[in-house]
């Protein structure tokens, strides 16, 4: 399963999610940001690659739809509601990502 994690600048939350989930045997993970100054800006090819997309906040979903609506028609986008208050690999963030993604995708 190809999973794309998205936040704004691809600095803390989405790279943490990618790191947490890239070790799972049933998952390939990537991350990107919606901001023009993101470390890696989400591209059309990232979206086409993804089976499932997880965004950290509703605004990320809105930005993806505004920029890539034509390739998002058949994609599932889950909003995790994780605010931008964590640093990279923050233990609380890691736990939230492990639990939420496992629950949504039934990967226990």
In this predicted model, what pLDDT tens digit does every residue of 7-49 receive, in sequence order? 999 999 999 999 999 999 999 999 999 999 999 999 999 999 9
pTM: 0.96
pLDDT at 73: 85
The answer to whether residues 8 and 62 touch, using CB atoms and an 8 Å cutoff, is no
Q: Which of 81, 83, 86 is nearest to 101 (CA)?
A: 81
Instruction: Give the span between the Cα atoms of 6 and 13, in whole angstroms.
Output: 8
Question: pLDDT (tens digit, 9 = 90+) per residue, 39-68?
Answer: 999 999 999 999 999 999 999 999 999 999
The class that CATH gives domain 2-105 is alpha beta
């Amino acid at each position: 399963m190809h999973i794309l994690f998205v936040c704004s600048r691809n600095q803390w939350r989405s790279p943490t999610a990618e790191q947490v989930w890239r070790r799972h045997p049933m998952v390939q993970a990537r991350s990107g940001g919606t901001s023009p100054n993101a470390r890696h800006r989400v591209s059309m090819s990232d979206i086409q690659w993804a089976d499932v997309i997880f965004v950290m906040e509703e605004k990320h979903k809105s930005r993806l739809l505004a920029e890539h609506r034509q390739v998002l028609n058949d994609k599932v986008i889950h909003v995790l509601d994780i605010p931008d208050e964590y640093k990279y690999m923050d233990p609380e963030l890691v736990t939230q990502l492990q639990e939420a993604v496992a629950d949504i995708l039934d990967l226990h």
